[in-house]
């Protein structure tokens, strides 16, 4: 560990890439748990990376959260992406409006001068209501766009923090944690080995769809998130990880 402490960020990025079969690993100096400006940098880095891999006609699916909210903010106003489509990866997950995937999709499309479609599905509907909503033609169209996304850009959160922020009941939270959940992404909860232990009722991208997606870009930083990032990287390979130094150094420490 002392070796990692002395080594530079590109060395650390290479080690993470090897350890988790990542497609790419980009590391911002600092720790977003201690310094909010690092999260802004993460957003800018993710925006630049996204631009570098965008192709004409692409569908981009995005998730919500405070980190993802920095991605459109870090994107300059561009033209030439009129045939790109931005969609939320999943329906409502109980986030505040400014942190919802719908909001971030619309903002990102605004920066790119791209198209967008939103998904209006309330959280945690009963099975019957869900069934009838997903069969609405307008909703079906958006869901099929999401399922054929070329690029997904998403956040990763700690399981307990995300379960609370999204207003899951104490009983459900207890159950999720009992099942060993340490991470959350897209409304799915993962244990430390990257196994899915709980799924929030919502619609849109299923984690099974990830393997058909050209680029899966995870953006998450802060040393406290290292166990959650590790769990997701175990679940999905190859991921493009955009993180910060705090999380990256911790990622190499955890066995």
CB of 53 to ligand G3H, least distance (A): 21
CB proximity list for 241: less than 8 A, separation 6 or greater: 16, 20, 22, 24, 25, 26, 218, 220, 229, 233
CA-to-CA dists, residue 193 to 86, 206, 255, angstroms = 31, 19, 11
Task: Kindly indicate which of the ranges 8-16, 62-70, 102-110, 203-211 contains the residues binding ligand G3H, using the contact rule CB under 6 A.
Answer: 62-70
Assess contact for 91 and 121: CB atoms under 8 A: yes
23, 35, 66, 206: which one contacts ligand G3H (CB under 6 A)? Answer: 66
CB of 249 to ligand G3H, least distance (A): 18
Name the β-bridge partners of 185: 188
Binding of residue 92 to ligand G3H (CB under 6 A): no
Nearest in space to 175 (alpha carbons), one of 157, 163, 186: 163
Binding of residue 91 to ligand G3H (CB under 6 A): no
Closer residue to ligand G3H (CB): 156 or 205 = 156
Closer residue to ligand G3H (CB): 64 or 246 = 64
CB of 25 to ligand G3H, least distance (A): 18
CB proximity list for 47: less than 8 A, separation 6 or greater: 71, 72, 74, 75, 76, 111
Residue 27, Cβ density class (10 Å: 0-12 exposed, 13-18 middle, ≥19 buried): buried
Binding of residue 242 to ligand G3H (CB under 6 A): no
Closer residue to ligand G3H (CB): 46 or 81 = 46
Binding of residue 185 to ligand G3H (CB under 6 A): yes
Binding of residue 204 to ligand G3H (CB under 6 A): no
């Amino acid at each position: 560990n002392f070796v990692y402490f002395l080594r530079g960020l590109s060395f650390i990025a290479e080690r993470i890439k090897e350890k988790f079969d990542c497609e790419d690993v980009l590391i911002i100096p600092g720790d977003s748990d201690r310094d909010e400006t690092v999260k802004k940098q993460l957003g800018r880095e993710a925006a630049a990376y996204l631009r570098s891999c965008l192709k004409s006609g692409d569908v981009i699916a995005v998730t919500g959260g405070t980190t993802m909210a920095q991605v459109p903010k870090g994107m300059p106003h561009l033209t030439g992406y009129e045939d790109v489509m931005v969609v939320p990866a999943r329906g409502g997950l109980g986030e505040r409006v400014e942190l919802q995937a719908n909001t971030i999709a619309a903002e990102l499309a605004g920066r790119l001068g791209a198209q967008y479609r939103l998904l209006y599905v309330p959280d945690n509907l009963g099975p019957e209501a869900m069934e009838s909503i997903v069969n609405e033609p307008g909703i079906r169209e958006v869901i099929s766009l999401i399922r054929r996304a070329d690029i997904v850009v998403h956040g990763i959160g700690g399981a307990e923090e995300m379960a609370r922020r999204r207003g899951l009941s104490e009983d459900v939270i207890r159950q999720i944690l009992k099942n060993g959940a340490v991470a959350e992404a897209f409304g799915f909860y993962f244990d430390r080995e990257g196994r899915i232990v709980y799924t929030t009722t919502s619609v849109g991208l299923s984690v099974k769809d990830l393997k058909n997606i050209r680029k899966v870009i995870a953006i998450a930083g802060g040393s406290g998130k290292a166990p959650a990032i590790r769990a997701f990287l175990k679940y999905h390979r190859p991921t493009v990880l955009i993180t910060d130094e705090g999380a990256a150094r911790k990622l190499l420490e955890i066995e």
